[in-house]
Amino acid sequence: VKRGGVIVGKGYAEKAGLEVGDRIELRGGTGSRSARVEGVLNAMGEFQGNSIQMSLATIRGVYGVREDAQLAVKARSLDELPALERAIDALVERDYPNLETLSAAEVKQQIDDEISRNFGLFNAIVAIAVIVSLLGVINTLAMSVLERTREIGVLRALGSSRWQVRLTMLHESLLITLSGALAGIAIGLVIARIWVGGLESLVPGISFSFPVATAAGVALVAVLLGTLAAILPARRAARLKPIEAIGYE
């Protein structure tokens, strides 16, 4: 970059078909220059990687800009890093209060916090969806008991115990909740894969992996919630009197 070269973002390099060693023409208000691509920057940044970085001398000669947009400082060793950070922070606070200093660790933490906030929002939506779905299961089973009152009465008259009637409701509830959980996991994996793919241009190195433990946990929770959702309808079905149930219209 000091020799007049430029560093291009990965997004711009892919769209323009640029590789290290290629040359591009820089044209600005104060001149033009042919610059060699010294590197492709695959890192999180503004404009989704559609950017070009160059030295102050180059941007001043081509575009007339006379101030640095950013300055990267690297410590000579890890032992000198704390003292360097304190010195830079003190300098910026004293002479440049309008500027902001960020370490690589702080940038990573900001990214992690932003992703965590997104997941928190998703988890809140999932919690609401689970509550609504449980109410739906309870309502479905309650309607099923009403619609099959005579059938339940016939089963009881033929010798079915109250426990067997409860098991019928439980099995139906588990079929509903498990089918919903499996469909949700499948659709969720597709959405997650698309979402992670969209983040690749913003967060280089991010990759998608199938959360086996989470999927198994969701299936287990579905079984438990399905059991809980079946309690009230199952109790109502088991308490039906056979004679009254058979005569129910």
Per-residue pLDDT tens digits for 194-237: 878 777 666 666 777 888 888 888 788 878 887 887 887 777 77
Q: What pTM does this model have?
A: 0.54
Residue stretches of the chain with pLDDT short of 70:
1-2, 43-49, 200-205, 243-249
Nearest to 221, CA basis, from 129, 148, 142, 157? 129
Q: Which helix (H) or strand (E) holds 156?
A: helix 149-157
Q: Specify the amino acid at residue 142.
A: A
Q: Specify the amino acid at residue 164.
A: Q
Give Cα separations from 164 to 71, 158, 168, 187, 235 (angstroms): 74, 12, 6, 34, 11
The per-residue pLDDT for 45 is 58
Per-residue pLDDT tens digits for 131-160: 887 788 778 777 777 777 777 777 777 777
The per-residue pLDDT for 51 is 79
Strand 52-54 versus strand 23-28 pairing type: unpaired
Interacting residues of 244 by C-beta distance below 8 A, sequence separation 6+: 153
Interacting residues of 32 by C-beta distance below 8 A, sequence separation 6+: 25, 26, 62
The per-residue pLDDT for 49 is 62
